[in-house]
Amino acid sequence: MVNKNITSIDDLSVKDINLISNQAIKFKNSKKIQFVKNPKNIFNLFLEPSTRTTVSFELAAKKLGYNSININFEKSSLSKGETFTDTMNTLISMKPDALIIRDKTNFSPQNISKHLNIPVINAGDGTNEHPTQALLDFCVIKSIYKNKKISIGLCGDIKHSRVAHSNIKLFTKLGYKLHLIAPSYFIDKNEVNKINPNIIYHKNLKKINDLDVLMMLRVQKERIPKNGKNMMNSFKKDYCLLSEHLSSKPYLMHPGPVNRNIEISDNVLDNYPKSLILTQVEMGVYLRMACLKYLLK
Ligand code: CP
């Protein structure tokens, strides 16, 4: 039997997305969660920094009764010069039942999954995808709007954002109307048009109050070119969300971590009544439980 993976939204059908999201919402609403009968060993290999994804995967595994083994770059022998392949062979020799990986290299989880017969979850690969973030974002929206096809806007550094790429794929697959709001240096329209030619583009924040949900995206400082400081300053000037931009119409989301006063002002981040940013963090645990259940049952 071919094992299932979540290395990209492309790995999932609409039926899979609905199955996983319904299970996540069910977990969130459950008073008591049953431990699995056969505890398994889940390896979390995080080769880039993370707070939300790493903690939520660990907590998700523990809430289900699995063993969660965490490996990060600084504490691994990669930091002593071991090659990636040797590290992978070493870890696989210990027979994990699933591998969760975050890596700076695009498509690394997909490439690894081709050589393994255990489920692989992509916890973020370079600028490519972050499928479990998109799934949890969908769960938050679904909890509020059920199956209503609302209008969603993604704003910011779409070009370098793996969250944006997974969200564009996911919401396109489900038939939502998407609006992308970004300066030209933070968007590659040819790349986006390959996923969905019907996306609506905006060059400023003028229409954000027509949206149901506005998702601001982190400027990926570590992935933009050396002259990126100019981009940051220009983006901050024209796109940083201030309270005067909002007439309290859209719900506000952000995958985190937020660059305060670059994407969202302190005032909006701390006081906007329709912010869902911490709801996203909370949903991350239940969504990752649902992903583990989907892959390991
Ligand atoms: N959204 C997200 O991936 O956050 P972390 O980098 O903190 O895991």
Which pLDDT value is given to residue 1? Answer: 59
Ligand 1: which atom is nearest the Cα of residue 53? Answer: 8
Span 219-232, pLDDT tens digits: 998 888 777 778 88
Q: To the nearest whole number, what is the mean pLDDT of the chain?
A: 95
Which pLDDT value is given to residue 249? Answer: 84
The confidence band for 255, taking pLDDT boundaries of 50, 70 and 90, is very high
Q: What is the 284 CA–ligand 1 centroid distance (Å)? A: 10
Q: Could you tell me if the CB of 124 is within 6 A of ligand 1?
A: yes
- Name the residue at shortest CA distance from atom 4 of ligand 1: 52
The confidence band for 17, taking pLDDT boundaries of 50, 70 and 90, is very high
> Is the pLDDT confidence value at 74 over 80?
yes
- For residues 100-111, average pLDDT: 97
Ligand 1: which atom is nearest the Cα of residue 55? Answer: 8
Q: What is the 153 CA–ligand 1 centroid distance (Å)? A: 20
Residue 153 CA to residue 207 CA, distance in Å, equals 10
Share of the chain above pLDDT 90, in %: 90
Span 23-54, pLDDT tens digits: 999 999 999 999 998 899 999 999 999 999 99
Q: Could you tell me if the CB of 133 is within 6 A of ligand 1?
A: yes
Q: Could you tell me if the CB of 222 is within 6 A of ligand 1?
A: no
